[in-house]
Structure 1
């Protein structure tokens, strides 16, 4: 496969997870769809007395990630884009694939939040322990790793998925820095 086609297919997979993330930041900053900014766990606690996920994991995030992934996948599924789009996103099933990818991304995020609450890390905070780099890596990769597993299960090229995951984590790290500097995202 020519390098330009590979890069284009990689970009198509990245768009599925990165565009909804940017959309969520914009929606939050603009104060749109506030009624959906309700915690998924409804403030329920686990048997340790800590929240299941915490107040920052909301229905708004689910709607934006899943809906955004469906929209992006639907656009990318247009037949005229052909080989420039990752094969898994091509054709009439692109919106359904977008739904699955968005949902799995959210599940990856929720699993990470659940684990962080169990070890005593509050929502939107970082540990001050020696495990901070591990937490940072998990925060950057949680949804992308979950999506990567699904992409492999759907028959995507392991090389394309691995490259997408690596570039995705790097882009996520870079956009976090930019978002913090622009004060669009808080620490």
Structure 2
């Protein structure tokens, strides 16, 4: 990718979008923790998304990522779009994990990271003239950073489990 600063900004926005719900859970615990699926269970006996996917997490992700975009001198809509699409990717991952009967917080390398990075990058692709190669590099960088930061946040007792 030619513009390394843009790459850092996009990775930062992905980090904020995906990190804020984890931080909110740690700081707010069960306050305002309303499951997005309302506890709905499908005929397979599994929740639609699971109790860890909350309205609080999605709202805070969108608000904070929008603010981060403005601080990075990007249009607010870039932050909102990236957060919304990242949360959509995260919900997709949770939906699939429930269908294959993985427990909440079980690790699924790739499934846990790719949709929440790929969807937002595809959504802002035209805004930044991102190539497929740019997106592949950013998704790979996101996976590596998430795995490293996850272990650090676990050691700092911010995450309940490391990836």
Q: TM-score range by the shorter chain?
A: 0.7 to 0.9
Corresponding residue of 2:138:
164
Question: Which 5+ residue runs of structure 2 have no aligned equivalent?
Answer: none
Separation in 2, partners of 1:183, 1:40: 25
Q: CA deviation at 1:72?
A: 0.9
d(CA) in 2 for partners of 1:149, 1:178: 28
CA distance in 2, matches of 1:142, 1:42: 23
Give how far 1:155 is off.
5.2
Give the counterpart of 1:65 among 61, 85, 96. 61
Superposition TM-score, scaled by structure 2 size: 0.87
Given candidates 3, 9, 13, the residue that maps to 1:12 is: 9
For residues 98-177 of structure 1, the aligned pairs below 5 Å read 98-126=79-107, 135-154=108-127, 156-158=129-131, 159-177=133-151
Residues 54 and 122 of structure 1 are in contact (CA less than 8 Å); yes or no, is this contact kept in structure 2? Answer: no
Greater radius of gyration (CA): 1
Deviations 1:63-93 (A, max 9, x none): 121111110111223xxxxxxxxxxx4xxxx
Stretches of structure 1 lacking an aligned partner (at least 5 in a row): 78-88, 127-134
TM-score by structure 1 length? 0.77
- Answer whether contact 1:140 1:173 (CA < 8 A) is retained: no
Q: Which runs of 4+ in 1 moved over 6 A?
A: none
- Give the distance between the partners of 1:22 and 1:139, measured in 2 at CA: 13
What does residue 38 of structure 2 align with? 42
Give the number of the structure whose residues are more often helix, by fraction: 1
State the partner residue of 1:96. Answer: 77
Following TM superposition, by how much is the alpha carbon of 1:180 offset from its aligned partner in structure 2, in angstroms? 1.5
**Deviation of 1:18 (Å):** 0.6
For residues 24-75 of structure 1, what are the alpha-carbon distances to aligned partners after superposition, in whole Å with 9 as ceiling and x for unaligned? Answer: 333222227822x110000001222210000000011101211111101112
How many pairs align? Answer: 160
Query: In 1, Cα distance between the equivalents of 2:22 and 2:61?
Result: 11
